Amino acid sequence: MRRRCMVFFMLLISSCASAQINFKGRLVDVSTGAGIEAATLLLSPDLKVKTSSDGIFQVMVPKGRYRLELRHLLYQTKVVALYLHRDTSLSLQMLPIENSLDSVVVMSTGYQKISLERSTGSFAALSKAQLDRRVGTNIIDRLQDEVSGLILNRKGNSAITIRGMSTISSDASPLIILDNFPFEGDLGSINPNDIEQVTVLKDAAAASIWGARAGNGVIVIDTKKAKKQGLQLGLNHNQTVALKPNISYERRISPEAYIGIERTLFDRGFYQSLEQGVARAPMSPAIELMILNRDGKIDRPELERQLNLLAAADVRKEYREHFMRNTYNRQFSMNLQGGSKINRFYIGTGMDKNSLDEIGNSFDRFNLKLNNVIDMLSGKLLFHTDVQVNYTKRVMNNPGLTALTLGATYPYADLIGENGNSLALMRDYRSSYLNQLAIQYPFLLDWTYRPYQEIELNDHMETALDLRLNANLSYIIGKGLKLDLFHQYSQLNSRQNFHRSQDTYYVRNLINNITQINPDGSYTRPIPLGGILDRNYGRTVSNNSRLQLAFNTNLNHNFKVNAFAGIETKDGRQLIEADRLYGYDVEHETSKAVDYLNSYRRLIVNNSNALIENVNSRRLLTDRFLSYFSNAQLIYKDRYVATASARFDQSNIFGVNTNQKGVPLWSVGVKWLLDREGFYSGLVDKLHLRASYGHSGNVNRNLSAYATAVYNQGTGNSNNWGTRMPYGVITNPPNPELRWERIRTFNVGIDFATKANRIDGIVEYYLKNGYDLIGSTAFAPSTGISTFTGNNASTRTAGLDLTLNTKNLIGRFAWSTTFLLSYNRERVTDYGIPTTATDYIQTGNNLAKPFIGHPLFALYSYTFAGLDSQTGDPLGYLDGVVSKDYQRIISTATPQSINYHGSARPTAFGVLRNQFRYARIILGFSVNYRLGYYFRHSSIRYGNDNGLASSHADYLDRWQRTGDELWTNIPAVPSAQNTNRDNFYQYSDILVDRADHIRLQDINLAYEFDVNKMKLRGIRAAQIYFYANNLGLIWTKSNRGIDPDYQTGPLPLSLSLGLRIDF
């Protein structure tokens, strides 16, 4: 009986086992074909399974009929009826939830893509729609006012910073990641229309995976990829017109007032030394007329008549009219994409043609992108390839007003004749003396300078070809285990040719200046006839490789683990060459040799010699990195998240010993999805709390652990004028203890949202401590150097970021608002070399001299005590007593006694953006603000010429008589040059103002065509859009009528009109 029971029991077990079938497959995004991670497949109340990182699922189930329910936070819930009677493999699709906060915040770190729900760090992701809100050539410009904590700087050594600066002497720019690898080229070469998403990594948990280069934050750029879909064609074309810049915005004295000052100086004999000097320095036309009148060559009425004619001219007006134009930019992009389950592709191309605001200058760009994905072994093996070609051409024939009129600072210069011909302008030498030389030495080349003609004669072009080849082989080894192999080959070739023909003033001046006059009257030309061609060539080749193993699994119903680890290498080489060809014949591509070793007597200043300039140089730089990285995430009960990241970087530029060449960097983070707790009954539907802590780094490529020097083979210059022997200049003394810069970051954040995301936002507080920063310190003079650059500085930054989105109205008429607020307070906590009060005052706002306890960019000043009622001299304080002893006021000032106003960069900034939608019409506008900082506005500096060199219009409001001190703070003209007086006034607190302001930045308007109603065959979507940028100031804290961010003139208004069509 017992045996029969056992047999029956075994048959029952066998029968039950045979009823179990293997149900597996992959869950993908319907639009992209990408696997959906962490989705729930519910077959019954007690039977559910989660998808892996690639959307793979597998479960053993009994035979039968099922109502399969697919769930995911970012996708619409879907129900599928199934009859499972044998082992089954399916590919299932889900549709993303539109307009969901989390649906757009799927972030890329450059190593993986993760949802907002899984992140413990500080991320900000910008979708394609957000990037397309602005119109422009450069992708960085499109990030303005889009991310809290990120600012485009108006001053400093980095165009963009994330959460303040954490370095002093090194590059403060964030690390740019383009399609999984660091990008060190020109961002202006990238076609913004090929970009799918930009993710900004702001704290250690987000950025530390990039290790030693992530201390300034990371910007991850993902370009468009091939998708599984039918054939689709997209077109985008826009044209932008920007008005001419207002170069007369900066206040300058009128030509009439300028001539009046020249009269005063001439009567005092100010110009006699110039008139009699051997340098034959140029003098303005007004002074030349006064000399003619003094010498009896013209009478007084004729003098006044010609001076009146000069006073009627305006060089800035004439330059704007004839040398400038409205900027005109044309942008066209096209993409074609499609494919099947096995093979899919994306082809994108773009062309930009920009005519810049100065005639003779332009920027053109061509982009080509080819992306392909081959799907093999039923999705287990994927092979991605990506080819990007970016070509740019810059023409720079117009160097600008300052360069073209060098030596002619007078405001009444006449540049264009009545018939449109280019008029001569004084430059370098007096025209009367040049006329004498032309008669004495008729073989000399024409020595006159005609600025307008120079633009036509210059041939200055810079081209760059950036080629990037990416390959990725991805293999799913088993359940939750994936192996990725990445490789990138990049090559950047840049070439700059500046050909100045013999007709240019630059070449004629060089040839004439050292033409040798022999005793018998004959002559020789050490610089031969012909043009001069300056060539600069750069070639950067880089190979990046990465091997990465990812593991994603559910340990049980409560625990999920997502982890990856790997190794990556970089080998980069950069060649930089420069040379010059004299006597260049553009038609036959020939040049002539010159003698660089011997010096030649100058023709005009004949008591001095000159060498022929030698610009030939060659540099080869090597940059190698070896890195090990890992990242792990543990999720418990779908509401507790913990992350950890570790990385070890090694480089060839740090340390002498092997253990000094690398740096370990790490981060940890936690997150609590409080709204998923059973006890939660808060005011908001979503409430997530998170915190992170970790270390990232920064690299200074200008330093090395070894002594470095620049070698000169012996060609003549000022360093070996007499010997012509080879020599070397030490650029970096040995520093075997040189270490990586490191940044320690702590971040806490709250993510919240009400029902249906009517209100959602992020609030974050962070602390950043930079240590082992590169700075200077005093060194023993006996070593041969007075200062030493190494790891001896530190900084501390604390800040707050706020992002708030509201859907004020929904329905046919919709209204949404975005408000961004960023606040940070940064200060230097250690720096090796304290300096003088004068250095802090004159250079503190440019980071040249950091002050411990103050921001990296800070504004300092002397205390202004008004004007002397009898003389109009500026007054200051000396030992607490009003004084005019400027030399002692300046020399006795200490860092503690001068005024510290505050940061020279905004400490609070952000944007208020509103968007309205009615049916198919969309209207939006942005108002940005910058607060909590100071600026020093310009004023008159009298110098030795009563303010002519300065030419500031404050001259007209100067003190002139007793009582004027009651309404003006502008000093009187001094009786004699007094540099200390000028410096005291220029750097006094009377010229410091708050820079706080609010600006109407832009307006965009779009209309989406109803392609179905219009019955436009083959067109899926069409939109026409209009964009206006740089609309102007709304409010400023200062009442001086000056734009604090653009004191020489605000950015001009630009208007764009474009059309997008998708087929």
Domain boundary assignment for the chain: 2-94
Judging by beta carbons within 10 Å of its beta carbon (0-12, 13-18, 19+), is residue 273 exposed, middle or buried? exposed
Q: Is the pLDDT of residue 7 over 50?
A: no
Is pLDDT at 657 greater than 70 in this prediction? no
Spatial distance between the Cα atoms of 714 and 616, rounded to a whole number of angstroms = 12
The confidence band for 659, taking pLDDT boundaries of 50, 70 and 90, is: very low
Rounded average pLDDT over 1027-1044: 94
The pair of three-digit structure tokens given for residue 12, joined into one six-digit string: 């029952």
Q: Is the pLDDT of residue 500 over 80?
A: yes
Residue 641 has pLDDT above 70, yes or no: yes
- 906 and 930 in contact (C-beta within 8 Å)? yes
Q: Kindly state the average pLDDT of the residues 262-289.
A: 90
**What mean pLDDT do residues 730-735 have?**
65
Q: What is the distance, to the nearest Å, from the Cα of residue 977 to the centroid of all Cα atoms in its chain?
A: 42
Model pLDDT, residue 205: 86
pLDDT at 654 over 60: no
Residue 62: pLDDT over 70: yes
Residues 93, 97, 98, 102, Cα dihedral to 10°: -120
pLDDT at 834 over 50: yes
Q: Of 107-121, 435-449, 1037-1051, which range is least confident?
A: 107-121
pLDDT value, residue 496? 95
| pLDDT classification of 479: cutoffs 50, 70, 90 | confident
SS3 of 460-496? EEEEEEEEEEEEEEEEEEECCEEEEEEEEEEEEEEEE
Residue 727 has pLDDT above 90, yes or no: no
Query: DSSP per residue over 634-695, as a string?
Result: EEETTTEEEEEEEEEEEETTS-SSGGGSEEEEEEEEEEEEGGGSTT---SSSEEEEEEEEEE
Least Cα distance to 709 among 734, 722, 728 occurs for 728
Residue 966: burial class (beta carbons within 10 Å; 0-12, 13-18, 19+): exposed
| pLDDT for res 99 | 37
| pLDDT classification of 10: cutoffs 50, 70, 90 | very low
Neighbouring residues of 82: CB distance < 8 A, sequence distance ≥ 6: 65, 66, 67, 68, 88
- Give percent of the chain above pLDDT 70: 90
| Residue 301 three-state SS | helix
Residue with tokens 């003209």: 973
pLDDT of 409 higher than 50: yes
Per-residue pLDDT averaged across 92-118, rounded? 68
| Mean residue pLDDT across the chain | 87
Nearest C-alpha neighbor of 540 from the set 572, 586, 588: 572
Pick from 5-14, 431-440, 732-741: least confident: 5-14
In this prediction, residue 97 carries a pLDDT of 59
Lowest-confidence region among 397-406, 549-558, 862-871, 1015-1024:
397-406
Task: Report, as an integer, the average pLDDT of 97-120.
Answer: 68
For residues 398, 400, 402 and 407, what is the CA-based torsion angle, rounded to 10 degrees?
A: 20
pLDDT at 741 over 70: yes
Neighbours of 1013 (CB within 10 A): 7
For residue 104, the model assigns a pLDDT of: 39
Mean pLDDT for 972-982 is: 94
SS3 for 547-585, per residue? EEEEEEEECCCCEEEEEEEEEEEEEEEEEEEEEEEEEEE
Predicted confidence at residue 396, as pLDDT, reads 94
Give the pLDDT band of residue 17 (cuts 50, 70, 90). Answer: very low
**Residue 370's pLDDT is what?**
95
Q: What is the 8-class DSSP label of residue 604? A: S
Q: Calculate mean pLDDT across residues 59-64.
A: 87
d(CA 670, CA 723): 67
pLDDT at 351: 96
> What is the model's pLDDT at position 18?
45
Task: Round to whole Å and give the CA distance between 203 and 746.
Answer: 8
Report the alpha-carbon distance of residue 495 to residue 538 in Å, rounded: 6
Q: Is the pLDDT confidence value at 624 over 50?
A: yes
Average the pLDDT over each of 112-126, 237-251, 454-468, 728-742 and give the range with the smallest value.
728-742
Tell me, what DSSP letter sits at residue 989?
G
Question: Are the C-beta atoms of 831 and 848 separated by less than 8 Å?
Answer: no
Q: What is the model's pLDDT at position 8? A: 41
Position 105 confidence tier, pLDDT thresholds 50, 70, 90: low
Does the structure show a pLDDT above 70 at 665?
Answer: yes
DSSP state of 973: P
Q: In 762-848, which residue ranges form alpha helices assigned H by DSSP?
A: 837-843
Which has more pLDDT, 659 or 883? 883
Task: Supply φ then ψ for residue 781, to 5 degrees.
Answer: -60, -25
What pLDDT score does 711 carry?
A: 62
Q: Phi then psi for 535, rounded to 5 degrees?
A: -120, 130
pLDDT band at 419 (very low <50, low <70, confident <90, very high): confident
**Residue 100: predicted pLDDT:** 40
Least confident range from 257-271, 835-849, 851-865, 940-954: namely 835-849
How far apart CA 427 and CA 448 sit, in angstroms, is 8
**pLDDT at residue 50, as a whole number:** 84
pLDDT at 326: 95
Indicate the pLDDT class of residue 478, thresholds 50, 70 and 90: confident
The dihedral region occupied by 819, where left means phi > 0, alpha psi between -120 and 50, and beta the remainder, is: beta
Least confident window among 210-214, 252-256, 369-373: 210-214
SS3 840: helix
| Both structure tokens of 461 | 């072009």
Which residue in 957, 964, 961 sits closest to 940, CA to CA? 957
Tokens of 223: 């370009």
Which residues make Cβ contacts (< 8 Å) with residue 760, sequence separation at least 6?
101, 686, 752, 753, 754, 804, 805
Measured at the alpha carbon of residue 1055, what is the angle toward residues 1053 and 1061, in degrees to the nearest 5? 155
Q: What is the mean pLDDT of residues 467-487?
A: 93
Higher pLDDT, 760 or 786: 760
Task: Check pLDDT > 50 for residue 102.
Answer: no
Three-class SS of 111-154:
CCEEEHHHCCCCEEEECHHHHCCCCCCCCHHHHCCCCCCEEECC
Asked if pLDDT for residue 896 goes beyond 80, the answer is yes
pLDDT number for residue 280: 86
Identify the pLDDT of residue 891: 93
pLDDT (mean) for 1027-1049: 93
Q: Which residue has the tokens 């800040």?
A: 799
pLDDT, tens digit, 9 for 90 and up, residues 48-57: 888 886 788 8
- Cα separation values, 950 from 259, 524, 832, 838, Å: 14, 41, 36, 21
C-alpha span between 47 and 1018 (Å, rounded)? 44
Please check the confidence at residue 567 and state whether its pLDDT lies above 50.
yes
Give percent of the chain above pLDDT 90. Answer: 56
> Residue 513: in which H helix or E strand, if any?
helix 505-513
Q: How high is the pLDDT of residue 732?
A: 64
In angstroms, what is the C-alpha Rg of the chain? 35
Residue 922 has a pLDDT of 94
Q: Residues 709-726: pLDDT tens digits? A: 666 665 555 555 555 567
* pLDDT confidence band for 190 (50 / 70 / 90): very high
CATH of domain 2-94: 2.60.40.1120
Binning pLDDT at 50, 70 and 90, where does residue 159 land?
confident
Query: What are the tens digits of pLDDT across the range 433-456?
Result: 888 999 999 999 999 999 999 999
- Cα angle 168, 170, 172; round to 5: 80
d(CA 903, CA 994): 10
| Confidence (pLDDT) at 653 | 59
Which two three-digit tokens encode residue 493? 């070739």
